């Protein structure tokens, strides 16, 4: 396959003779529309990354492109900006899509669509993301209203093509993002079907972290005389990551909000940036954190510019200690004093993870990056570790005892500062009469105990169980993951803490050994006669238990769903009542057999 090959070294500079090597500095030298340049300046973008510097002029010139670029290199802007510029040049506003971007996951589809919205706001382009897991009628309405850019996952794009609801006959440019990931997920045939529905004379750009033989075959079939760009990882990105303490907590989804609050209480950040995926989730988290005593604000694309400026001003001044934001809304956010970055969800793209945690640990300071991982998100975590060449330390969730100890430590520091500051004579009339009856140390202890007791809320006294990663077994069945105490995994929980629990290994146990799902007699296990084939999901089981048995979701532990049955850990004191309630209830419209698993 003939190509014009361009290579960019680790330092980010182009090799002699590379395309774009002699252009002026910054985005202004890349040939972008003036309105795009204004938008980039408003977002805080100053210098293009190597892949942007090389890819944008080639795509603007109409060349097909095969780009080998690892995560953390700014690929989204590298194709989004020239796509937007070409749409403007060709006249946006047609009823059928002019550009198609295909990505492997719905999370990436949402991220890329929001990026197009952000970059192309001044151009008035219409972007519709289509992906599985979203009601299809909502996507149909968006397509029927007219669209300029479609961002799609392969499976849902094929669904729309089959329905006749997606017309790709006018597509001028197609971008295949994370092509290696799409092939690993088995979408090769879907990609062929999608590309066959587009005009043969279209422009095509393929971005992949690696160029495998399979990628090369696809490029030969679908790209015309492509320019080839190779971009190596930037040293600055890896060095920046090294300045940040990176920690992950494995948390069941129903416990995530409580876990976030507990972690923030124990970490006590001076300034925390919490990333969430959607606008609704950002608003909900900010409201919940405010209700738990944090000065929290929300930042997303739905805010008016005045509201955005007000929130950012308060965060910069330190009036807010927690800012909850979407990725796109946080772009261009340049605040040096962010002490903690929290990923409420694991980013689907390691590139996104690197950009997020790069907002802490700036100017030589040490930073902290915390990530809440659901048990079955092991693959996303491994991708991040491979991309950053860093092993994330998985820790147990803080216990009530940890929270008490941390608050006492904070209280001790506050008291020391107050004693050094002085100015408490107005309260002498409270202490002196008591000193005639009690020892001064006892009076101080009583005062501190009142303060400490007032700070511990009812919800703070609920223990949170640290979950375990559900590592895949050969054949695809989820396994129990590494045992507690193994490298990179939480060790035994301290006395009084809720032990970590993962899926329960099946098979014989030594005579008299406790059931694995019932540590210290605190948990029991239910067998439910329905699984994947019956359409059961973890949320169905948690909802059925909470609604039918009238118990909180916190009584539910590890959930394993197999093809024909499910295993659910339930708090032992209520397990019989839960089993009885489920026997008389319908789960996803089906009445299923339920029994308590007995220890053997």
Q: What is the pLDDT of residues 163-210, one digit of tens each?
A: 999 999 999 999 999 888 788 778 889 999 999 999 999 999 999 888
Neighbours of 53 (CB within 10 A): 29
∠ CA 524-511-519 to the nearest 5 degrees? 30
Task: Report the number of secondary-structure helices (H) and strands (E) in the chain.
Answer: 21, 19
Instruction: Return the residue matching tokens 């092991």.
Output: 378
Q: Per-residue pLDDT for 500 more than 50? A: no
Q: pLDDT tens across 333-392, in order? A: 667 678 999 999 888 778 778 878 878 876 556 789 999 998 878 778 888 888 777 888
Range picked from 179-188, 315-324, 375-384, 490-499 for highest mean pLDDT: 315-324
> What Cα–Cα distance (Å) separates residue 294 from each residue in 38, 269, 271, 272, 308?
35, 11, 11, 11, 19
Q: Tell me if residue 247 falls in helix, strand or coil.
A: strand
The CATH number of domain 519-597 is 3.30.70.330: yes
Burial class (CB in 10 A: 0-12, 13-18, 19+), 448: middle
CATH 3.30.70.330 in the chain, residues?
A: 519-597
Q: Per-residue pLDDT for 441 more than 50? A: yes
The CATH number of domain 239-400 is 3.10.129.10: no
Which tops the pLDDT comparison, 562 or 284? 284
Q: According to the model, what pLDDT value does residue 513 have?
A: 33
Q: Which residues contact 558 (CB under 8 A, 6 or more apart)?
A: 252, 375, 467, 468, 501, 502, 503, 504, 517, 567, 568, 569
Q: According to the model, what pLDDT value does residue 129 have?
A: 92
Q: Per-residue pLDDT for 151 more than 90? A: yes
Q: Per-residue pLDDT for 316 more than 60? A: yes
Q: Per-residue pLDDT for 272 more than 90? A: yes
Q: Are 180 and 210 in contact (CB under 8 A)?
A: yes
Which tops the pLDDT comparison, 505 or 532? 532
Mean of pLDDT over the chain? 76
pTM over cut 0.85: no
Mean pLDDT of the region 204-225: 89
Q: How many residues does the chain have?
A: 600
CATH 3.40.50.300 in the chain, residues?
A: 4-233, 239-400
> What Cα–Cα distance (Å) separates residue 476 from each residue in 482, 531, 562?
16, 15, 11
∠ CA 115-185-165 to the nearest 5 degrees? 60
Q: Are 108 and 318 in contact (CB under 8 A)?
A: no
Q: pLDDT tens across 12-69, in order? A: 333 333 333 343 468 888 988 889 999 888 877 878 888 899 999 999 999 999 998 7
Q: According to the model, what pLDDT value does residue 452 have?
A: 57
Q: Which residues contact 481 (CB under 8 A, 6 or more apart)?
A: 375, 378, 468, 469, 470, 471, 489, 502, 503
Q: Are 197 and 152 in contact (CB under 8 A)?
A: no
Q: How far apart are CA 372 and CA 264, in angstroms?
A: 12
Domain 4-233: give its CATH architecture.
3-Layer(aba) Sandwich (3.40)
> What Cα–Cα distance (Å) separates residue 9 from each residue in 12, 354, 498?
5, 19, 49
Instruction: Return the residue matching tokens 């216990």.
Output: 399
Q: According to the model, what pLDDT value does residue 201 have?
A: 93
Which strands make up the sheet holding 244-250, listed edge to edge? 296-299, 322-325, 272-275, 340-343, 367-373, 244-250, 393-394
Q: How far apart are CA 553 and CA 358, in angstroms?
A: 35
Q: Are 496 and 464 in contact (CB under 8 A)?
A: no
Q: Per-residue pLDDT for 543 more than 80? A: no
Q: According to the model, what pLDDT value does residue 362 have?
A: 63
pLDDT grade for 260, boundaries at 50, 70 and 90: very high
Burial class (CB in 10 A: 0-12, 13-18, 19+), 232: middle
Q: How far apart are CA 384 and CA 391, in angstroms?
A: 9
Q: Per-residue pLDDT for 76 more than 80? A: yes
Q: Per-residue pLDDT for 550 more than 80? A: no
Which tops the pLDDT comparison, 488 or 250? 250
Q: According to the model, what pLDDT value does residue 157 have?
A: 93
Q: According to the model, what pLDDT value does residue 83 have?
A: 94
């Amino acid at each position: 396959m003939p190509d014009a090959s361009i290579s960019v070294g680790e330092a980010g500079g182009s090799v002699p003779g590379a395309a774009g090597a002699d252009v002026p500095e910054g985005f202004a030298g890349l040939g972008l529309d003036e309105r795009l340049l204004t938008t980039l300046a408003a977002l805080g973008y100053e210098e293009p990354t190597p892949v942007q510097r090389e890819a944008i002029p080639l795509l603007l010139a109409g060349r097909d492109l095969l780009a080998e670029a690892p995560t953390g290199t700014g690929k989204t802007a590298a194709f989004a900006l020239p796509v937007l510029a070409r749409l403007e040049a060709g006249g946006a506003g047609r009823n059928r899509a002019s550009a198609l971007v295909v990505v492997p996951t719905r999370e990436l589809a949402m991220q890329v669509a929001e990026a197009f919205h952000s970059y192309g706001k001044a151009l008035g382009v219409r972007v519709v993301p289509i992906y599985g897991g979203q009601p299809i009628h909502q996507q149909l309405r968006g397509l029927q209203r007219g669209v300029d850019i479609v961002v799609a996952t392969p499976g849902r794009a094929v669904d729309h093509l089959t329905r006749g609801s997606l017309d790709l006959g006018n597509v001028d440019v197609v971008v295949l993002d994370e092509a290696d990931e799409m092939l690993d997920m088995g979408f090769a045939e879907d990609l062929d079907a999608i590309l066959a529905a587009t005009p043969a004379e279209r422009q095509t750009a393929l971005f992949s972290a690696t160029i495998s033989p399979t990628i090369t075959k696809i490029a030969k079939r679908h790209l015309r005389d492509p320019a080839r760009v190779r971009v190596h990882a930037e040293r600055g990105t890896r060095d920046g990551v090294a300045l940040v303490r990176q920690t992950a907590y494995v948390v069941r989804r129903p416990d995530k909000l409580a876990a976030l609050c507990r972690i923030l209480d124990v970490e006590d950040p001076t300034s925390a940036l919490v990333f969430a995926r959607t606008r609704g989730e950002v608003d909900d988290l900010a409201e919940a954190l405010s209700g738990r005593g944090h000065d929290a604000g929300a930042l997303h694309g739905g805010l008016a510019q005045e509201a955005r400026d007000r929130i950012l001003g308060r965060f910069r001044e330190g009036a807010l200690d927690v800012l909850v934001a979407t990725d796109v809304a946080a772009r261009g956010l340049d605040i040096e004093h962010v002490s903690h970055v929290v990923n409420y969800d694991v980013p689907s793209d390691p590139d996104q993870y690197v950009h997020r945690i790069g907002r802490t640990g700036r100017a030589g300071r040490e930073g902290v990056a915390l990530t809440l991982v659901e048990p079955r998100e092991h693959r996303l975590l491994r991708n991040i570790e491979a991309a950053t060449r860093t092993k994330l330390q998985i820790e147990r969730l803080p216990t009530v005892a940890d929270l008490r100890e941390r608050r006492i430590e904070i209280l001790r520091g506050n008291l020391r500062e107050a004693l050094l500051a002085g100015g408490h004579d107005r309260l002498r009339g409270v202490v002196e009469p008591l000193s005639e009856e009690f020892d001064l140390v006892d009076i101080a202890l009583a005062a501190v105990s009142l303060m400490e007791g007032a700070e511990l809320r009812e919800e703070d006294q609920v223990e949170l169980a640290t979950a375990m990663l559900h590592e895949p077994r050969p054949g695809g069945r989820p396994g129990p993951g590494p045992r507690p105490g193994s490298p990179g995994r939480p060790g035994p929980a301290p006395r009084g803490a809720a032990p970590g629990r993962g899926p329960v290994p099946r098979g014989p146990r030594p005579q008299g050994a406790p059931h694995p799902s019932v540590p210290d007699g605190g948990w029991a296990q239910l067998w439910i006669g329905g699984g994947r084939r019956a359409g059961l999901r973890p949320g169905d089981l948690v909802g059925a238990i909470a609604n039918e048995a009238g118990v909180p979701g916190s009584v539910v532990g590890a959930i394993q769903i197999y093809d024909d049955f499910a295993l659910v850990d339930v708090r032992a004191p209520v397990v019989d009542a839960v089993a009885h309630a489920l026997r008389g209830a319908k789960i996803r419209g089906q009445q299923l057999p339920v029994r308590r698993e007995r220890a053997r």
